[in-house]
């Protein structure tokens, strides 16, 4: 039962924060004139939420398993760098592929 509650919690957390962040990001992209490639920013936001979940939110949930470990700092830094790249990539790609 705790696993199901944790899955529901993950879906709600990701749905709520993804909606907020993507709405903000979509408005920024529209103000920059980006009409395509917003999905790349969507992936960047999902990746950031995954990092936050693995390093913080998983320790406050319903599930008490042995597999609860933080991401390695090098992996965390790489994923954050990659997600920031994904967030800034849509305006760049839109500019060069006009």
Work out how many domains the chain is built from and give that number. Answer: 1
Nearest to 3 by CA among 63, 54, 53: 63
Percent of the chain residues topping a pLDDT of 70: 100
CB atoms within 10 A of CB 60: 7
In the structure, what pLDDT confidence band is assigned to residue 36 with cuts at 50, 70 and 90? confident
Range of the domain at 31: 2-96
More confident: 1 or 48? 48
Angstrom distance (rounded) from CA 37 to CA 26 = 11
Its pTM stands at 0.87
**Look-up: residue for tokens 């999905």?**
39
Dihedral, CA of residue 14, residue 71, residue 26 and residue 94, to nearest 10: -140
């Amino acid at each position: 039962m705790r696993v199901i509650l944790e899955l529901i919690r993950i879906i709600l957390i990701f749905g709520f924060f993804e909606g907020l962040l993507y709405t903000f990001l979509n408005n920024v992209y529209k103000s920059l004139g980006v009409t395509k490639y917003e999905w790349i920013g969507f992936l960047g936001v999902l990746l950031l939420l995954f990092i936050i979940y693995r390093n913080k939110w998983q320790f406050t949930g319903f599930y008490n398993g042995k597999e609860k470990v933080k991401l390695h700092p090098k992996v965390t830094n790489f994923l954050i760098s990659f997600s920031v790249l994904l967030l800034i990539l849509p305006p760049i790609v839109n500019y060069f592929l006009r």
